[in-house]
């Protein structure tokens, strides 16, 4: 699976929310800083070339939909980020977020409870 640019990620996130949409609908769903219609159309076609998106043709119009799920994308790139930036250590990753105050002790306790619960099941 090929890594996406920041702009491509923004577009695929909108498509994941919409599930299927024409370029105009994607544009309307974009938050504040909307890209130009032609730019958005180009990004969607690039996503299609990369195998993230497909389309159904309706005459000259195309309705696009993601063919890579958010969960599959997250798994692939979280694994890559942990491997590349945290020496393949989830402990190092969690420690980093704790040191940067991006995760609290209460949140860590919640995570531990989830881990314990999943071990019992």
Cα end-to-end span (Å), the chain? 32
* pLDDT confidence of residue 90: 87
How many structural domains does the chain have?
A: 2
**Residue 84: CATH number of its domain:** 1.10.4040
Answer with the one of 44, 66, 88 that is the final residue of a domain: 66
* pLDDT confidence of residue 11: 95
Nearest-5° Cα angle at 112, 92 to 94? 15
Kindly report the average pLDDT of the chain as a whole number: 91
**17 shares its domain with 58:** yes
* pLDDT confidence of residue 43: 97
* pLDDT above 90 coverage of the chain, percent: 60
Whole-model pTM: value is 0.78
1 is a domain residue: no
**pLDDT, tens digit, 9 for 90 and up, residues 54-91:** 999 999 999 999 999 999 999 888 888 899 999 999 88
Expressed as residue numbers, the domain containing 103 is 70-120
112 is a domain residue: yes
């Amino acid at each position: 699976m090929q890594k996406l640019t920041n702009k491509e990620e923004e577009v695929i996130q909108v498509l994941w929310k919409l599930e299927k949409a024409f370029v105009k609908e994607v544009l309307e769903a974009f938050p504040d800083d909307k890209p130009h219609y032609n730019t958005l159309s180009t990004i969607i076609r690039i996503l299609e070339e990369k195998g993230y998106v497909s389309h159904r043709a309706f005459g000259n119009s195309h309705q696009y939909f993601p063919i890579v799920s958010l969960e599959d994308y997250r798994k692939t790139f979280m694994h890559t980020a942990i491997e590349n930036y945290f020496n393949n250590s989830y402990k190092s990753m969690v420690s980093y977020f704790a040191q940067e105050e991006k995760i609290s002790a209460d949140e860590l306790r919640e995570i531990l409870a989830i881990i314990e619960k999943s071990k019992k099941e």
